[in-house]
Structure formats: C-alpha cells, structure tokens
Amino acid sequence: MSGMDTGTLHGPGAAASLLASARRIVVFTGAGVSTDSGIPDFRSTGGRDGGLWTRYDPRKLSFGRYKADPDVRRQAWKLRRELSAIQARPNPAHLACVRLAELGRLAGVITQNVDGLHGDAGLDPELLVEVHGTGRIAVCLACGDRRPMAEAVARVEAGEPDPPCLLCGGILKAATVSFGQGIPPEVWARAQAMTDACDGFVAVGSSLVVHPAAGLPRRAAAKGATLVVINREPTPLDPMADAVCHGEAGSLLPGLVDSLSA
Ligand code: NAD
C-alpha cells in the first residue's frame, strides 16, 4: 500500500489504524528524534541549537578534508567536545522503540543518528542498525584501532588538539560516516534486509533528504509496507506516505506505540 495510490491520511489516529495489523515494523529515525535529548538537528528552522551546525558545517568537515587538513581535524575534535558536554539521555521517542520491541512488533530501528541513544534506551543491538556509524567510538584511519570516544575527548581536553592513534600514530576519527564516506556494505545490507522484510515503516524526525538512507522509506513503500511519516515539518515523502503526522516525535511516537498495544 502507498499514499500514491490511496491518498495520504493525516494524524496519529490514521497512522495507528493503518498499522494496526503490522507485525514487523521498522522505525527509521533521524536527528529529530534526539532534539528532545538536547542534541541539535541539522535542518530544523527556529535556531534552537544556538548555531552548533553553523559553527561546525558538516560539509566542511568532509572525509577528504578531514584526512588532508589538521585544522579541519581540530575543528572536528572541538565539535566532539561540545557534543560530549551535552550528556544527552534517551527521551520518550527512544523508549517508545524499546516498547514496540517488547510488544513483539518491531522488526528493527534503522537510525541515521550517531549519538548512541537508541542503545542507551535499552534497544537490543540485533534490532538496531546505525547506518551513519557511531560517535561513541574513535577509530584509527591507518590501523583500525577502536577506542571509546570518551578517551579521545579526554586527550583533547588535556591539550592534544588532534590526538593521533596511540598504537601507530595514524589519524583518529569518530566512527561516523562523514560526507564523502560510504556506508559500510555490511551495514547497508542489514538496513536493506530489514526494510525489505517489514510490513510497516515509520520514518520519524528525519528531513528525508540525506541519501542513500532517505531511499529506504521509498523502498519499503515499493515493497508494499505501510509508510508513516512523523515530523514537525513537511518532508518530501509526505505525498507518497500512507499517513503523515505533523508534530513532536517525543509525544507522537509513544502515542502511536500506545495505540498499537491497546
Ligand atoms: P535533519 O537535521 O536533516 O532533519 C531533522 C528533521 O527532524 C527535520 O525535518 C525536523 O523538522 C525534524 N525534527 C526536529 N526535531 C523534531 C522533533 N522533536 N519532533 C519531530 N520532528 C523533529 O536530520 P536527518 O534527516 O537525520 O539527517 C541529517 C544527518 O545528520 C544524519 O545523517 C544524521 O546522522 C546527522 N545528525 C545526527 C545527529 C544525532 O546523532 N543526534 C544530530 C544531527 C545530525
């Protein structure tokens, strides 16, 4: 089923009734799921972030520039320090995903977020695909050594503006997928398999413009899954969704899961 055929319905009641019989739901999350935890998204209007992404434009911190330019790396480590200082905790949207799993109706969460909050909420790692990696780990681009991000940030705070790998002296980087870097094939394969096997696909708090991840909702709809979009603003996929809910992820997603458990 897809909104292109049926006309898009609006509101949480419509979303709940369209998903009433779904048993293998994918929740696809973007930065908007974590704004209630204090982590700014990229594209919201309103400037709630105080300019974090203005000061650290991700396009300027692309993979190519990161490898080539120590100044870019110093900027990226400053960003990591600021993000660590937020000390974000999971919010009701993250907890709703865990509840959906407890109801036995979650095929998985595919997240574009790198903040680790779905894991902190208690989601089974088997049910989680972090398509853009994780900011919780620092990885050496030369030897592949992986360490907790907290260790690398502590080194930055202690006066190393661009801390090298402790094993080989190579360049360290957050284990995230930056602009210009590909999603690891095995991670992408898991995301596609989850999408292909679902009967409901709920895209929450994503502007749905960052590809290839934003292709997954279309793929799910093309395979016949019910597509629901939850966002505080319109998205490019609203016209093809079966149901669209405009509002806050932190209330709409828990409300939807409550309706599905009734
Ligand atoms: P985005 O910033 O492009 O879009 C966020 C969307 O969420 C917007 O459409 C906005 O209207 C909506 N939104 C914001 N707060 C909301 C709320 N409380 N309730 C409902 N909707 C809300 O984010 P994206 O689509 O995820 O793509 C951006 C890329 O940036 C991703 O790759 C992501 O990894 C990365 N990113 C991650 C984080 C994080 O890990 N928390 C934060 C910023 C950016």
Residue 45: what pLDDT? 54
C-alpha of residue 113 to centroid of ligand 1, in Å: 8
Tens digit of pLDDT for each residue in 13-43? 999 999 999 999 999 999 999 999 999 988 7
φ, ψ of residue 9 to 5 degrees: the values are: -95, 160
C-alpha of residue 197 to centroid of ligand 1, in Å: 25
Q: Is the CB of 116 under 6 A from ligand 1?
A: no
Q: Is the CB of 91 under 6 A from ligand 1?
A: no
Q: Is the CB of 207 under 6 A from ligand 1?
A: yes
3-state helix/strand/coil string of the chain:
CCHHHHCCEECHHHHHHHCCCCCCEEEEECHHHCHHHCCCCCCCCCCCCCCHHHHCCCCCCCHHHHHHCHHHHHHHHHHHHHHHHHCCCCCHHHHHHHHHHHCCCEEEEEECCCCCHHHHCCCCHHHEEECCEEEEEEEECCCCCEEEHHHHHHHHHCCCCCCECCCCCCEEEEEECCCCCCCCHHHHHHHHHHHHHCCEEEEECCCCCCCCCCHHHHHHHHCCCEEEEEECCCCCCHHHCCEEEECCHHHHHHHHHHHHHC
**What pTM did the predictor assign?**
0.94
C-alpha of residue 203 to centroid of ligand 1, in Å: 11
Q: Is the CB of 233 under 6 A from ligand 1?
A: yes
For the chain, first and last CA: distance in Å? 23
**Does residue 2 have a pLDDT over 80?**
no
C-alpha of residue 139 to centroid of ligand 1, in Å: 24
Tens digit of pLDDT for each residue in 50-68? 567 778 888 889 999 999 9
Q: Is the CB of 130 under 6 A from ligand 1?
A: no
132 tagged catalytic: yes
The architecture of the domain spanning 1-38+90-132+184-262 is 3-Layer(aba) Sandwich (3.40)
Domain ranges of the chain: 1-38+90-132+184-262, 40-85+133-176
Best CA proximity match to 122, nearest among 107, 147, 101, 143: 101
The CATH number of 40-85+133-176, from 3.30.530.50, 3.30.1600.10, 1.10.1380.10, 3.30.70.20, is 3.30.1600.10
Tens digit of pLDDT for each residue in 176-235? 999 999 999 999 999 999 999 999 999 999 999 989 999 999 999 999 999 999 999 999
Q: Which of 10, 94, 118, 132 is catalytic?
A: 132
Tens digit of pLDDT for each residue in 245-257? 999 999 999 999 9
Tens digit of pLDDT for each residue in 64-106? 999 999 999 999 999 999 999 999 999 999 999 999 999 999 9
Site to substitute for ligand 1 among 41, 48, 128, most atoms within 8 A of C-beta: 41
